[in-house]
Amino acid sequence: MKRVQQALKMIEAGIKGKRVLEVACGCGEFSIEAASIANEVQCIDLDSFRLLSEIENHSNIIFKKMDATKMTYEDGYFDSCVVYNAIGHLSNSLEKIIEECIRVTSHNGNIYIISSFKMDKRVINDKLIPLLQSQNMDYSLREKLPFICVTIKR
């Protein structure tokens, strides 16, 4: 089983049959996997040069060039939001990106930050968890090697 499939398995219940946003999607491999169980997947990144051409073969995936600190989606538009193997690249804008993810996720939805990268795990432990604690946010943390997953509950 590929790592992206393992990651999807960890959060499957939270995205199955739902409208999902993947933030900082990079090549879009997670969006492609998620499209097999989600009703709709929208994925955003600052550019599209790494995006797999396979994205175009999925009628339920929409890619948009967008800054995660200034998303153009309506409040509560998505059922779930996912940051997969990317939080380390977002650490300088972490607070604003988390605010935006919360804003665009419905009140009964979840935000998943999931990664197997050491750099991401460090950002999760050193920056994300203290941020969530300082703002009294409801979250859970679980590890299932090689992944660490933070679920922010709305």
- In this predicted model, what pLDDT tens digit does every residue of 97-117 receive, in sequence order? 999 999 999 999 999 999 999
Give the pLDDT confidence score for residue 1 in this predicted structure.
Answer: 67
What's the average model confidence in pLDDT over 46-72? 96
53 Cβ neighbours under 8 A, 6+ residues apart? none
Nearest in space to 151 (alpha carbons), one of 137, 139, 135, 138: 139
Strands 61-65 and 40-45, sheet pairing: parallel
* Whole-number average pLDDT of the chain: 96
What's the average model confidence in pLDDT over 140-148? 95
Provide the whole-model pTM.
0.96
How far, in Å, CA of 83 to CA of 86, rounded? 6
How far, in Å, CA of 126 to CA of 122, rounded? 6
In a 10 Å sphere around its CB, with 0-12 CB exposed, 13-18 middle and 19+ buried, how is residue 70 labelled? exposed
Contact 150, 112 (CB under 8 A): yes
What's the average model confidence in pLDDT over 19-30? 98
What's the average model confidence in pLDDT over 133-152? 96
Q: Is the pLDDT assigned to residue 46 strictly greater than 90?
A: yes
Q: Is the pLDDT assigned to residue 63 strictly greater than 90?
A: yes
Which residues partner with 82 through β-bridges? 22, 112
Domains of the chain (ranges, CATH numbers): 3-153 (3.40.50.150)
Q: Is the pLDDT assigned to residue 26 strictly greater than 70?
A: yes
Nearest in space to 69 (alpha carbons), one of 40, 47, 98, 91: 98
- Report percent pLDDT > 90 for the chain: 97
